[in-house]
Amino acid sequence: SKGEMHCLLTEDAVPKRAASYLERLDYADAVRIAKFRMRSHYLAIETGGWLRMKKENRVCNLCMTVEDEYHILFECPKYDAARAKLINFNSYDVNNVKQSLIKLFNAKDNRTLYNLSVFLRKAHKIHVESAGAFLKKLIKDAENEIRL
């Protein structure tokens, strides 16, 4: 559900208290993180829901696994270069999805949160470019089938 990610990240939060990153980052960075936390993005986990697709069918066009927040932050090779520059993997347990996401999004230092925001901006650009290339390939393949 749309609030699933947000609930995961805020289960220990103090009620009626703004998330600390909202106070520590500039407006654009805070909004970028807030939107991602609330699944206001175009990953397949969200867009597939608009089409009422089963969760297991909301897949990354490269990996063919569920394309959710964890997938782009920690797994998908499309984002390796941006991830290597901006996210310190030594700090996260990639075998524990929930704890890794909580630790990353609830980081206490501003540098980690800023880097997360920059990563999300770059990942969005990569995602849009990748989706465009994927659609072009589908169209080309369809055109070739029609010619046969």
The pLDDT score that the predictor gives to residue 51 is: 86
Give me the sign of the Cα torsion angle 115, 118, 122, 125: positive
| Residue given tokens 């089963």 in the structure block | 54
pLDDT for the residue numbered 47: 86
The residues near 49 (Cβ < 8 Å, ≥ 6 apart) are: 1, 2, 58
Q: What is the mean pLDDT of each run of 10 residues along the chain (148 residues)?
A: 61 56 82 87 87 90 91 92 84 78 84 92 91 72 72
pTM: 0.77
The predicted-structure confidence for 23-45, as pLDDT tens digits, reads as follows 778 899 989 988 888 888 888 88
**CA 11 centroid distance within chain:** 19
Q: Can you tell me whether residue 108 is helix, strand or coil?
A: coil
In this predicted structure, what is the pLDDT of residue 10? 61
CB 25 within 8 A of CB 33: yes
DSSP label at 39? T
Question: What pLDDT is stored for residue 77 in this prediction?
Answer: 95
